[in-house]
A and B are shown apart, each in its own frame.
Chain A
Amino acid sequence: MNPFVIHTGLVAPLDRVNVDTDAIIPKQFLKRIERSGFGQFLFYEWRFNVDGSPIDSFILNTPAYKDSTVLLARNNFGCGSSREHAPWALLDYGFRCVIAPSFADIFYNNCFKNGILPIKLSEEQVDELFLRTQSRENYELTIDLEQQVVRDSDGLSYPFEVDPYRRYCLLNGLDDIGITLQYEDKIAAYEANR
């Protein structure tokens, strides 16, 4: 997993509540047995017509947001299916960070396993970011996980909370299976008494 320390990138606003993982990566693309290559299918049914041509009105098809790496979203982002294909698709497409007022649990957790930082900000702060994204060209945010702060070049600075252990793993790009296996003695002892 790639570590996440500090990241500056273009922000794409996705102004919908309850964006579910079926929308992020529709089921017809879950049949692959690889972890890679899902970015082309991200938000597929919002991005493409039935004939495969792009839907111009969708935010990621707007040329200005083509190279965005930070996704700005609304409440309960990532709800529904547990499919980790959702963060795989976001990452493969180029997103390193999703900002929203709230996330569904499984999706939130899956992000950290894949080097994506999901950030919870208040609804007011998210509203302000939507306003700035939509009213300025090439609006960028810098996300500093070490300092736990989101900043823009106009002096905006929003601190955010993140579980310290998840932060530690993301900063260092740690494989947590390896960490668990350090407790082999304890696992074996538990199993002996089960």
Chain B
Amino acid sequence: MKPRTMFEKIWDNHVIHEEAGKPSLLYIDLHLVHEVTSPQAFEGLRLAGRKVRRPELTFATMDHNVPTADRFNIKDPISRQQMETLTDNCREFGITLADLNSPDQGIVHVIGPELGLTHPGKTIVCGDSHTSTHGAFGALAFGIGTSEVEHVLATQCLPQLKPKTMEVRVNGDLPFGVSAKDLILAIIAKYGTDFATGYVVEYTGEAIRKLTMEERMTVCNMTIEGGARAGLIAPDQTTFDYLQGRRYVPQGEDFLAAVEAWKELCTDEGATYDTCVEIDAAAIEPQVTWGTSPGMGTNITSTVPDPEAFETTAQRKAAQDALAYMDLAPGTPMSEIKIDRVFIGSCTNGRIEDLRKAAEVAKGRKVSPSVHAMVVPGSQAVKQLAEQEGLHLIFQEAGFDWRESGCSMCLAMNPDILSEGERCASTSNRNFEGRQGRGGRTHLVSPEMAAAAAIAGRFVDVREWKRESASEEVFQ
């Protein structure tokens, strides 16, 4: 048999029908649903007199609208209606819902893996672009629009044109103090926000193998910001160890059998990708974005670029517009940019390891008096675990606001929103104009960098702090 990539194996395993000149019909193993992109889909089912074909392969939660301060006090009547509509729809169509009362509630891309719903080899869709997160497990996972949400609800299938494949090989090791977030931001800064449009990206190489599952999720999560249809990382022992014992993962003998099957998913030796790029992990530094597109980022040790230095007219104009919106002057050192707000959370960086890393930086320090900083756990389970570990106390003692779980200020659909002109260090995924609030200015960074910025009131090279604490520990 011809050697195949992991993508091709998963694809082939799910094709129900193929015909020349038409999209392939793919079976969907898991459909995640949230309150924002589903109401019109359920309404479509009702109008057509259709049912949800496989409610047991569908799992819903509410995350986008959820207030994080007083979660049961939803003041916005339209937000409340959207959440109630999801509750009604799940009841009517027999879908499991992790609502605000559920210990399972959280950001849809945090709870899928956490509950063990996400498995290697599955096809996973959700009406949310960051569905690419689940690719960290070797699942083919991608975001869809509401028409497709309705399609999957009704048929458990989706007609899809076959994407091309790209290997992103990350050679070497990430240096001390450089995170998975820095890796993906650096990749997008180097290759642009559409370098992977039309492709499914498989990440390979030593640096990827050494990442934890949560770090892999950060990388796959932001793969959509490079334009890719999906990101994939081959499952290995790290994956199996993460999954073992989780609620929706096979148990006992069945787990061992599943692991054997999952091992078969890896790209065969000799299989070819449509295109390949290679990155040297050792060259990556902590990243900070300076503009209004995730590709507009640079090293913390660098400066705000001069728009004139860009190659094309379109790039120059985009950089000029971005700097005007961000109120930044070319040549300003990134470490001199002062901030007003800090947001630690989101489906990119709202998991327990992210909070641990931020807490490590925050421990024994104080948030700058000019900064309002908040930590929003990605799920109730993350929140509970963080509290068991005492992370909330570290944050609170340092002056961070400790919140309830949800998408929060990543997209600011709930009351967590930037005011006009406010500048935020954010661990989320998008620095688009107005994303965190009209006139708000977003700089994307890692959780460590965000915590350090909260304390310093400006961006700092967190590696220096980490080196200091590492040497203190040696002397103690």
Q: Which residues of A contact B (CB under 8 A)?
A: 15-18, 20, 22-23, 26-28, 30-35, 45, 50, 74-76, 79-84, 87, 102-106, 109-110, 113-114, 163-165, 176-177, 179-181, 183, 186-187, 190-191, 194
- In the complex, the answer to whether A114 meets B321 with C-beta atoms within 8 Å is no
- In the complex, the answer to whether A18 meets B293 with C-beta atoms within 8 Å is yes
CB contact between B82 and one of A31, A82, A180 (< 8 Å): that residue: A31
Instruction: Report if B2 contacts A (CB, 8 A).
Output: no
- In the complex, the answer to whether A84 meets B430 with C-beta atoms within 8 Å is no
CB contact between A84 and one of B37, B198, B229 (< 8 Å): that residue: B37
Set of chain B residues within 8 Å of A17, measured between Cβ atoms: 314-315, 317-318
Set of chain A residues within 8 Å of B154, measured between Cβ atoms: 177, 180-181
Set of chain B residues within 8 Å of A83, measured between Cβ atoms: 36-37, 145
10 A-B residue pairs with Cβ-Cβ distance under 8 Å, sorted by A, are: A16-B317, A26-B438, A27-B411, A82-B144, A84-B147, A104-B197, A104-B227, A176-B151, A180-B159, A186-B16
- In the complex, the answer to whether A82 meets B128 with C-beta atoms within 8 Å is yes
- In the complex, the answer to whether A75 meets B145 with C-beta atoms within 8 Å is no
- In the complex, the answer to whether A31 meets B79 with C-beta atoms within 8 Å is yes
- Interface residues in B107-147 by Cβ distance below 8 A to A read 127-129, 143-147
Q: How many A-B residue pairs have CB under 8 A?
A: 159
Set of chain A residues within 8 Å of B39, measured between Cβ atoms: 33
Set of chain B residues within 8 Å of A22, measured between Cβ atoms: 411, 430, 432-435
If A30-B36, A34-B40 are given as contacts, then 9 extra A-B residue pairs at C-beta distance below 8 Å, sorted by A number, are A20-B293, A22-B434, A30-B413, A31-B79, A31-B81, A33-B81, A84-B127, A163-B23, A165-B23
- Interface residues in B142-187 by Cβ distance below 8 A to A read 143-148, 150-151, 154-157, 159, 161
Set of chain B residues within 8 Å of A183, measured between Cβ atoms: 16-17, 25, 157
- In the complex, the answer to whether A75 meets B157 with C-beta atoms within 8 Å is no
Most buried by B among A82, A84, A109: A82
Instruction: Report if B402 contacts A (CB, 8 A).
Output: no
- Interface residues in B417-450 by Cβ distance below 8 A to A read 420, 430, 432-435, 438
- In the complex, the answer to whether B43 meets A33 with C-beta atoms within 8 Å is yes
Set of chain B residues within 8 Å of A103, measured between Cβ atoms: 197
Residue of B nearest to A184 (CB): B155
- In the complex, the answer to whether B129 meets A80 with C-beta atoms within 8 Å is yes
Most buried by B among A26, A34, A186: A26
Most buried by B among A30, A104, A181: A30
CB contact between A20 and one of B78, B317, B430 (< 8 Å): that residue: B430
- In the complex, the answer to whether A81 meets B17 with C-beta atoms within 8 Å is no
Q: A28–B143 Cα gap in the complex (Å)?
A: 21
Q: A20–B225 Cα gap in the complex (Å)?
A: 11
Whole-angstrom distance between the Cβ of A10 and the nearest chain B Cβ: 24
Set of chain B residues within 8 Å of A26, measured between Cβ atoms: 434, 438
